[in-house]
Amino acid sequence: MPTEDHGRVHCRLDELLAERGMTLARLAELVGVTVVNLSVLKNDRAKAVRFSTLTAICDVLRCEVGDLLVVTPRP
């Protein structure tokens, strides 16, 4: 169901990886998903993400979902 808020969710994966000194390839290996799928998420192009993938990313990065995904303010 499209809304006017489409595109306001930002993925902070780049920042979290940098803070932890980890590459996207290493995260993909540890999470068990492809680099391409993580890249889509990282570049804010994902339209959906599985809860199991979110949980695995948060487990590996030792963060909360709210650390990974944030809603940007309205313009």
Domain map (residue ranges) of the chain: 9-66
Q: Please say whether the beta carbons of 72 and 12 come within 8 A.
A: no
Q: Which token pair is 2?
A: 């499209």
* pLDDT tens readout for residues 15-71: 999 999 999 999 999 999 999 999 999 999 999 999 999 999 999 999 999 999 999
- 73 vs 6, residue with greater confidence: 73
Q: Which token pair is 44?
A: 């804010």
pTM: 0.87
Q: Please say whether the beta carbons of 60 and 30 come within 8 A.
A: yes
Residue 26: half-sphere exposure toward Cβ, Cα within 13 Å: 10
Domain 9-66 has CATH 3.40.640.10: no
pLDDT(3) > 70: no
